[in-house]
Amino acid sequence: MFISSAFAQTASAAGSTQSTLMSMLPLVLMFVVLYFVMIRPQMKKQKEHKAMIEALAKGDEVVTAGGMLGKVSKLGEAYIGVELAAGVEVQLQRSAVVQVLPKGTLK
């Protein structure tokens, strides 16, 4: 009685390794799909945003994260001055700039 049980356990041990690999395959496949569908595009978007912020120049017309439109009047390392209207200037973090508008958009 005990001997037949021992044979049954050793026989399934070889198939157990293959079974473990097959059970891990869907998890690995899901991570690969997640990387290409979500993580990689997000990294690309962050890279483009960083390049846009570094390329800001005086006179550029921008949209801020708060939805304000203005023209860049001063540039600093971490902060920029944005003129919202004649005589109204605010200081913002560079990262608050969401979009650079084409020249002549603001009148």
DSSP string, 87-101: TEEEEEEGGGEEEEE
Quick one: 34 and 81 in the same domain? Answer: no
Residue 6 belongs to a domain: yes
Q: Are 63 and 98 in contact (CB under 8 A)?
A: yes
Tally of domains in the chain: 2
Q: Which of 5-14, 19-28, 49-58 has the highest mean pLDDT?
A: 49-58
The answer to whether position 23 is within a domain reads yes
Q: Is 106 part of a structural domain of the chain? A: no
Q: In the predicted model, is pLDDT for residue 73 greater than 60?
A: yes
13-27 average pLDDT score: 79
Q: Give yes or no for residue 7 having a pLDDT over 90.
A: no
For residue 21, being part of any structural domain is answered with yes
pLDDT > 90 in the chain, percent = 75
**Domain final residue pick, 19, 35, 55:** 55
Q: For the domain that residue 95 is a member of, what is the CATH number?
A: 2.30.30
DSSP-assigned beta bridge partners for residue 72 = 82
Give all strands (DSSP E) within 1-107, no chain letters: 61-64, 69-75, 79-85, 88-93, 97-101
Per the structure block, which two tokens stand in for 5?
């049980």
Query: Quick check: is 70 in a domain?
Result: yes
Structural domain containing residue 41: 1-55
Instruction: Give which of 75, 107, 104, 103 is closest to 89, Cα–Cα.
Output: 75
Question: What does the pLDDT average to over 47-52?
Answer: 96
